[in-house]
Structure 1
């Protein structure tokens, strides 16, 4: 049976994401597959619905790797600071060897709002901050007076402990404020 054009295109998107070293913007996927960015957004949604671990970050789409045999440690931390300290907060975390996976805030009307960040080094932090600034967007933490959660991940538990220690030392942990 002949495959439908959408199925072929989604296979191509997966192929591109699988071989990509860096995140791929939706516009780039659209160009490579000959469709609009809006079609790509729909394709990504359909792929996610099939439990394919694609994450949309500020740098573009990434396909999460298969779980490795190495231990992988994940922790959620509560943070508190103003928007001017966002870059320093993210630097503190990535310098400790963790990946900042996401940010979550508890909105009084909308409930929990979560967004992927996926930064692991200073270059990715700089790209993320630049994108926020250039778009004129606000940090989610601005909706909650600076209170927010980050899910952080590392291959070594020690990296998580170092990140928390440094966040505490710099006064970024919410548990130390309230």
Structure 2
């Protein structure tokens, strides 16, 4: 398999996968090093392929079905306990957290893909936060941040907003 065929196979694998695919998994399937996969992903992105790198692996956004809604919420939390509670609230009520966005005074909008759609995803994210000792993006903006979330109805979105508001995480426009 030459490099072009391998890159096409990466696209095929990512398009078929509902979940993110780790670089090491792609490397094993395609019998190359993880570094080759990283380079291939960079080349594919440069050619215009929409590939996200998430903490769970590589992902190509799917075409959303008509019954799925994409919404944005503005939130604020002050510590990692509140961060986990906020994300758990969204997931438990049927939302998927697509990303987190902060408005930095110098750099402007900074966005990171999260792709947290289950309690398991949330557990992995929080474990990663603890083991890396990294600060969440919201620490750059005193806790204020946005999330793009995916829900299957306006009713679910309303319930999420209501629950976050009761917990004082939601910043109302």
| Same fold at TM > 0.5 | yes
Name the stretch that deviates more: 54-63 or 84-93: 54-63
Determine the C-alpha separation between the residues in 2 that align with 1:153 and 1:31.
32
Q: Deviations over 1:89-137 (max 9, x none)?
A: 1000111111110001111222211000011111111111111211221
- 1:79 match: 75
SS of equivalent to 1:9: helix
The answer as to 2:53 corresponding to 1:56 is yes
Determine the C-alpha separation between the residues in 1 that align with 2:22 and 2:86.
25
SS of equivalent to 1:14: helix
In the alignment of these two chains, the number of paired residues is 172
Structure 2: gaps spanning 5 or more residues: none
Root-mean-square deviation (Å): 2.0
Whether the 8 Å contact between 1:94 and 1:100 is mirrored in structure 2 is yes
Whether the 8 Å contact between 1:83 and 1:141 is mirrored in structure 2 is no
Structure 1: gaps spanning 5 or more residues: none
Whether the 8 Å contact between 1:103 and 1:117 is mirrored in structure 2 is yes
Superposition pairs for residues 17-96 of structure 1, below 5 Å? 17-68=14-65, 70-84=66-80, 85-96=82-93
Determine the C-alpha separation between the residues in 1 that align with 2:138 and 2:45.
26
Determine the C-alpha separation between the residues in 2 that align with 1:41 and 1:155.
34
Tell me the TM-score normalized by structure 1: 0.86
Determine the C-alpha separation between the residues in 2 that align with 1:54 and 1:124.
19
C-alpha displacement of 1:36? 3.1
